[in-house]
Amino acid sequence: MELKLLAVMTADIYEEEVRDAFREGVGGYLEMPHLFGEMGSHRRLGTANDPGEARLFFNINQRENLQPVIDRLERFAARCGEEPCLKMMVLSVDEIF
SS3 54: strand
- The strand pairing partners of 5, in sequence order, are 60, 91
pTM given for the model: 0.83
CATH classification number, 3-92, choose in 3.40.50.970, 3.30.70.120, 3.10.20.600, 1.10.540.10: 3.30.70.120
Q: Which long-range contacts (CB under 8 A, 24 or more apart) does 77-82 make?
A: 80/14
Whole-number pLDDT of residue 39: 54
Q: Over the stretch 25-56, which tens digit does the pLDDT of each residue have?
A: 999 999 998 876 655 565 565 666 666 678 89
Structure confidence at residue 82 as a pLDDT band (50, 70, 90): confident
